[in-house]
Chain A
Amino acid sequence: MLNLGPLALYGAALVAYIWHFVRRSASAGRAATTVLVFAALSHTFVIGMQTVEYGHVPMAGPTSYISTFVWLLALAYLYTEMTSDERGMGIFILPLLVALQVIPASVPGVESRSAVLEGPLFGIHVSSLLFAYASFALACVIGITYVLLFKEIKAKHLGVFYARLPSLQVLDRMNQRAIAIGWVFLTIGMVVGVVWAAQARAYDPATPQFQAMSLEDPKIFVALVCWAVYSFEVFAARRIGWGGRRAAYLSAVGFAIVLLNFVPISYFVTNSHKF
């Protein structure tokens, strides 16, 4: 229930970002950032407490890794906001933070993990992937804002987003950077995962989960699809003129797949990634 505190603060930050977006008041914007900083701090505290309690960073069960993911996404967004001095995207990021944080706040986070999950490789595997997913989430939101602004300029109706968002060029570059960073961590996370799975299989041949880890497992398969989509976006899209709006759509599609993997598949479908 510790996760309720950050949830409340994320909710308050969301309200402040909405207020900032509607009224375009600089003080509301600063207040929003301040509340978000406090939300992230309290979340850091919660995760720190759990780490002390369990003796490791909470990220083995779906409930706790969603919490860690929200925390990473909040930090990544705060970093973006502070380096670009643009607050117009907060109104798009915060709903995602609040919606996802509801899960760890309402499902009791029982964290028990088997001995096999204790090695450093598992930690690297999960934290790289969570960070990659946070980057992709950010890229998706930036992509959505790009499309909204693009449509306004193209349709010659300069309105809500025109007055509040940074330029298309800036959004495009931010999107590109977030995708590139995410791709690097996705790759690391997957490679480490393969190595770890091989070790685990040798270490504990009796556990059915380890034997089920193959391309036929939906979670692993979907992750590979993700990797293919983002690899295309990083290496090929711009060469064939798929910059700007198409890249933005692509990052939205990529993140939709990530989200699919993250929530429904983690909870209901996968037969190997359950601990």
Chain B
Amino acid sequence: MHLLLVGISHKTAPVELRERVDFQVHGLARTLAALAARGSTREAVVLSTCNRAELYVACDDVAATRADLVSFVGEFNGIDRPTVAPHVYDIVDLDAARHLFRVAAGLDSLVVGEPQILGQVKQAHTAAHDVQVVGPVLNRLFHSSFAVGKRVRTETSLGAGAVSIGFAAASLARKIFGDLRGRTVVVIGAGEMGKLTARHMKSQGVHQIIIVSRTMAHAARTAEAIGGATAAPWDEMDAALSGGDIVITATGAAAPILTKARVEAIMRSRRNRPLFIIDIALPRDVEPAAGEIEQVFLYNIDDLQATVRENLARRGSEVARAEAIVTEELDRFGAWLRSRGAVPTIVALRQHCENIRRAELERLDYKLASLPQADEARARVDEITRLIMEKLLLAPTEQLKSLGDAETVGAYSEALTRLFRLGDDDEQERGEGGDRRIAPFTRSKHRGSR
């Protein structure tokens, strides 16, 4: 069995195409059902976000499945194959696993280290699990990827630091005031930028938002648009600032509105309680010298952008550590996957022994039948022989499962097949059933995927 990944992402496809290849709009359950119905895969998981659409499948014939999946991507989304095919990448086996691990870690994201992707990977797995199209291989693969994501988040700073202006402002505010609940935000100016930043602060749980604008009607309208905010007239600005904690200035004024002297007066009335001023206006609304006042923290849009850039750079330096975690977990997954190569041999060996046991029991049954308590005796003999068989097989089974590389697994399997003539046995047993060797390990409830 092979792992195969077919997909498009922000690295290979323009946004116009990514918008069209969106499995989320059709519903993951429907996509998975349609995919399973094609019969080219044994297990499948569909990961669909705004930056990527990827099909993770377990299959037997890589070339055929690859061709089928590329067609599926086009057909399912109503796009011609020639339009979509050049943008599709396909990755096989452990490289596919590495790709998923990097995706879960946020290493493959547009903004490296962004935290949402791990949740999306988990959703993709849950959706496939719910419609029962994942089996042991993809289950293991995805659970390993969750472990990678979690380890990268806790052991590296790949996701640390805000990488957008709004987040940078909010995280600074939290570093100054601790909890933002119970804090008051004053927005000066009723423009779009001020509104956006205020909304972001609101989503962080601030207690109160006051909008101050030269025209009261504008202020009222913006307050309504944010929801739960109040408007205040221009000449009450100083009073609002005395009671506020965070100030966002975003007016179109040509000269600074808040001069150093004015802020000093405000600070006196607040007994020097800290004041965080975010000046996102161009030209500036706040005199830069106001930032020199004790307990005034003045940041303008350039400062915030600089912290965002710094954070991005810092994330970059964490990439190597995250990649090391990916490699470590990949080795672990690879070992597991290789041990699975021995599974058919193990199953065949067990089947072979069981066949001999049953045959002998049947052959010698007449001896048991002559005993006084025949049924009791049969049950005992059956139990004892089964225990002997289990004991004999335990060590070889464990040994086979723990073998390292595919080559050794192949050699051992070959040897066992010859020594016990497993092939012959198997043919007699299997009849037209086809897939019986794998069945006990994949559990019948996953049959839908095949």
Q: Could you list which residues of chain A lie within 8 angstroms of chain B, going by C-beta atoms?
A: 24-26, 149, 153-154, 156, 158, 162-163, 166-170, 238-246
Contact = CB atoms under 8 A, between A and B. Distances in A.
Contacts of B351: none
Q: Which 6 A-B pairs have the closest CB atoms?
A: A241-B272, A169-B178, A167-B178, A241-B271, A170-B178, A169-B177
Contacts of B307: 156, 158
Contact of A244 (B155, B161, B294): B294
A153 B172 contact: yes
Interface stretch (B59-67, B92-100, B190-198, B295-303): B295-303
Interface residues of B, number: 27
Nearest to A23: B155
Interface string B272-289: 111000000000000000
A26 B154 contact: yes
27 contacts: A24-B157, A25-B155, A149-B175, A153-B172, A154-B291, A156-B307, A158-B310, A163-B160, A166-B178, A167-B174, A167-B177, A167-B178, A168-B178, A169-B176, A169-B177, A170-B178, A238-B271, A239-B271, A241-B268, A241-B272, A242-B272, A243-B272, A243-B273, A243-B295, A244-B274, A245-B294, A246-B294
A162 B295 contact: no
A158 B174 CA distance: 13
A173 to B, nearest CB: 8
A244 B272 contact: yes
Contact of A153 (B176, B268, B272, B306): B176
B204 to A, nearest CB: 13
Contacts of B172: 153, 158
A154 B306 CA distance: 14
B175 A168 contact: yes
Interface in B44-59: none
B271 A162 contact: no
Given A163-B157, A241-B268, 4 more contacts: A153-B297, A163-B161, A169-B176, A169-B274
B175 A167 contact: yes
Nearest to B175: A167
A24 B297 CA distance: 26
A131 to B, nearest CB: 27
A246 B273 CA distance: 12
A241 B310 CA distance: 34
A28 to B, nearest CB: 11
B276 to A, nearest CB: 9
A181 B132 CA distance: 61
A153 B172 CA distance: 8
Contacts of A167: 174-178
Contact of A156 (B157, B160, B303): B303
A244 B178 contact: no
A111 B310 CA distance: 57
A24 B307 CA distance: 20
A150 B173 CA distance: 13
A154 B274 contact: no
A264 B313 CA distance: 48
